[in-house]
């Protein structure tokens, strides 16, 4: 199993008053059990506010889960409990688990060059050699075209 969650919950406190007393919780994610095998794609569908984004953020530990387990098989075949990882451990898994944000206008800064925006995640992941960063970005930007597709369909 590539990814497995058990009883995953993310509750946000609702605070009121001058002392910001916690008067209740928004149960944004309230007990998700799922399994994703390697090569499998899972779509989560639901009305606005039902917790899809919060669930994704919990998998990345952008929001720490209130309760539950997230088991992830890393590239060495080790099963990690992501809820128990420290900062360094999390940084390592960030090269394997990613969030792709929906709105290009919010996630891509038009004042920055594409090579810098894409290269940033490579640098964050530890790639120090700038030539290597540029080469990798260039190769990621190459269109992946299925061999079988006739050229006339591509050139319009
Ligand atoms: N940081 C936060 N603090 C408090 N409440 C939050 C926080 N983030 C999300 N929520 C609440 O948790 C619930 C789930 O929100 P979430 O953004 O995960 O929904 P969604 O399914 O992604 O919605 P959409 O389809 O609109 O993107 C909502 O009620 C939202 O207001
Ligand atoms: Mg959302």
pLDDT tens, 37-93?
999 999 999 999 999 999 999 999 988 999 999 999 988 888 999 999 998 888 888
User: What is the whole-number distance in angstroms between the Cα of residue 48 and the centre of ligand 1?
Assistant: 8
User: What is the whole-number distance in angstroms between the Cα of residue 7 and the centre of ligand 2?
Assistant: 20
Q: Domain check: are 57 and 129 in the same one?
A: no
Number of structural domains, the chain?
2
- The boundaries of the domain holding residue 111 are 100-143
Q: Which ligand is nearest to the CA of 27?
A: 1
Q: Does residue 12's CB lie within 6 angstroms of at least one atom of ligand 1?
A: yes
Q: Domain check: are 135 and 105 in the same one?
A: yes
Q: How far apart are CA 134 and CA 85, in angstroms?
A: 31
For residue 156, pLDDT beyond 80 = no
Q: Domain check: are 79 and 13 in the same one?
A: yes
Q: Which atom of ligand 1 is nearest to the CA of 55?
A: 18
Q: Domain check: are 20 and 80 in the same one?
A: yes
Q: What is the pLDDT of residue 74?
A: 87
Q: Domain check: are 67 and 114 in the same one?
A: no
**Mean pLDDT of all residues in the chain?**
89
- Give the pair of three-digit tokens for residue 61: 């530990």
Residues in Cβ contact with 154 at an 8 Å cutoff, skipping those fewer than 6 apart: 145
Contact 9, 68 (CB under 8 A): yes
Q: Domain check: are 107 and 68 in the same one?
A: no
Q: What is the pLDDT of residue 106?
A: 79
pTM value? 0.77
Q: Domain check: are 122 and 45 in the same one?
A: no
Q: Does residue 28's CB lie within 6 angstroms of at least one atom of ligand 1?
A: yes
**93 belongs to a structural domain:** no
Q: Domain check: are 7 and 66 in the same one?
A: yes
Exposure string over 11-44, b if 16+ CB within 10 A, otherwise e: beeeeeeeeeeeeeeeebbbebeeeeeeeeeeee
Tokens 């050139």 correspond to 155
pLDDT tens-digit profile of 100-117?
A: 777 878 778 889 998 999
């Amino acid at each position: 199993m590539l990814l497995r969650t058990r009883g995953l919950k993310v509750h946000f406190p609702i605070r009121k008053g001058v002392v910001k007393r916690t008067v209740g919780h928004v149960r944004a994610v309230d007990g998700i059990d799922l399994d994703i095998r390697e090569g499998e794609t899972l779509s989560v569908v639901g009305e606005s506010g039902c917790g899809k984004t919060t669930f994704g953020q919990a998998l990345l530990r952008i929001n720490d889960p209130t309760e539950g387990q997230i088991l992830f098989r890393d590239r060495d075949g080790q099963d990690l409990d992501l809820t128990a990882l420290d900062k360094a451990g999390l940084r390592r898994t960030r090269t394997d688990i990613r969030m792709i944000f929906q709105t290009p206008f919010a996630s891509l800064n038009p004042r920055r060059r594409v090579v810098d925006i894409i290269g940033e995640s490579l640098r964050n992941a530890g790639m120090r050699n700038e030539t290597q960063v540029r080469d990798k970005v260039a190769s990621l930007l190459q269109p992946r075209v299925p061999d079988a597709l006739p050229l006339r369909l591509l050139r319009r």
